[in-house]
Amino acid sequence: MTAGSAGRTPGLRLDLEVPCGSFDLAIAWETEQSALGLFGASGAGKSSVLEALAGIRRGARGRIEVAGRTWLDSGRGVALAPEARGVGYVPQEAALFPHRDVLGNLRFGERRARRAGQVHRRLQPEPVLELLELTPLAHRPVTALSGGERQRVALGRALCSAPALLLLDEPLAGLDLALRRRILPYLLRIREEFGIPTLHVSHDPSETTLLCREVCVLDAGRVVACGPPRAIFGAHRLLTGSAGNSVPEMVNVLEGRVATVAESLATIEIEPGLCIAVADEGHFVSGQRIAFEVRASDILLARGPATGLSAQNILPAMVREVHLPESGDLHAAAVVNALLGRQEQAIAVVVSRRACRELALAPGVPVHLVFKAQACRLLAAY
């Protein structure tokens, strides 16, 4: 059957070469996870990988295996046609059919699900319109939509097709912060409710950390790292390594439940007994699950008692690792990995080398993490 059933792990096996402009992209990646990320700066070749997976990229060579099915094996002359792969592809430019209205575009996807006998009640056009808050736009021509609306329609069309693999190309790029906060929960919900294996292309570390269980980092057509996003984005070499312009900012993504809301502060319980104060802009509700990010450079480290500070978050932690930059690199800061709470959440902190020396930071040293409630940026509430 062309479309896979929801909830199945994809078992993605890639060994691909794709000519793309100035370089030949090469990616080898094997994973059993189903929430996957492809991370890298623009021009790293991420979109080319998606196109090769969708079967619409000419010149892709190598092997693609998804959930045990071979999609491409150029050595044996196997190349499954795009219509036989059953992917839900959401390209950056949305590529909506201009001769159909919003509902018509979703129905276009739905027909594949019907033919394949993959009819899920919640993946029908009506509930999907509802889920993506598109119901009032159902009969609008797609040429009259805003960028964010087009993205959601493209996502809806892909969902309605009950895909074996969802390919999302920067679904949040080009959207403003408010819209990102609104769409991110949909993506989380898609992951959690439908369990559709998803490959999510992004250049945003927080987004990738939140949505993906495993991430593959591409730089100039080469895989530079592969693994769980928290481990990858906490790794020092990503901050100093690779091409200078493509260094991602190091962020910590935390998830938890809103415990209390008072005096423009929300208390987020990230594990039993461990709470973080987050500035409330008026959209927190008690009991809600939220995700937020704290930049590694917005956190202070204190040895000994940290008292008399206005910062609302002063949390005991333990240094796990200290990464000093190469001796020749005078401009780079040090990165300290600290463990927070009983569940030992890894938190990355950027400090200067002098501070590192003066505080004698080393593995096993107890410290306090100090940061303002204002330094916590809301990613999504769901």
Partner 1 sequence: MNDGALVALGLSAQVALCATLAILPPGIALGWLLARREVPGRALLETLTALPLVLPPTAVGYLLLRLLARDGPLGERALGFDLDLLFTWKGAVLASAVMALPLVVRTARLAFEEVDPRLESMARTLGLGPLRTFAEVTLPLARRGLAAAAVLGFTRALGEFGATVIVAGNIPGETQTLALAIFSDMQVGRDSEAMTLVAITVVLAFAALWTVELLLHRRRAR
Q: Residues interacting with partner 1, by CB under 8 A?
A: 2, 54-56, 81-83, 85-89, 91, 93, 95, 97-99, 108-109, 111-112, 115-116, 143, 157, 161
State the nearest-atom distance from the C-beta of 60 to partner 1, in Å.
Answer: 13
Q: Give the whole-angstrom CA distance, residue 38 versus residue 226.
A: 9
* CB nearer to partner 1: pick between 82 and 228: 82
Under DSSP, is residue 84 helix (H, G, I), strand (E, B) or coil?
Answer: helix
SS3 235: coil
Instruction: Give the side-chain half-sphere CA count within 13 A for 96.
Output: 29
- 82 or 241, CB closer to partner 1? 82
Q: Is 68 exposed, middle or buried (0-12, 13-18, 19+ CB in 10 A)?
A: exposed
User: Minimum distance from CB of 79 to partner 1 (Å)?
Assistant: 13
The CB-of-142 to partner 1 minimum distance in angstroms stands at: 11
| Shortest distance in whole angstroms from residue 86 CB to partner 1 | 7
Residue 42 or 143: the one with the smaller Cβ distance to partner 1 is: 143
CB of 83 to partner 1, least distance (A): 5
Q: CB-based contacts of 125: which residues, under 8 Å, 6+ apart? A: 103, 106, 107, 110, 156, 160
CA angle 200, 206, 211 (to 5 degrees): 40
Q: Which is nearer to partner 1, 109 or 197 (CB)?
A: 109
Environment class of 232 (CB within 10 Å of its CB; exposed 0-12, middle 13-18, buried 19+): buried
Q: Give the whole-angstrom CA distance, residue 122 versus residue 143.
A: 27
Rounded to 5°, the CA angle 216-218-222 comes to 115
Which one, 18 or 210, has the nearer CB to partner 1? 18
Cβ proximity to partner 1: between 85 and 368 the closer is: 85
**For residues 54 and 82, is the Cβ–Cβ distance under 8 A?**
yes
Residue 99 CB, nearest approach to partner 1 (Å): 5
State which residue, 95 or 285, has the beta carbon closest to partner 1.
95
Tell the smallest beta-carbon distance from residue 54 to partner 1 (Å): 5
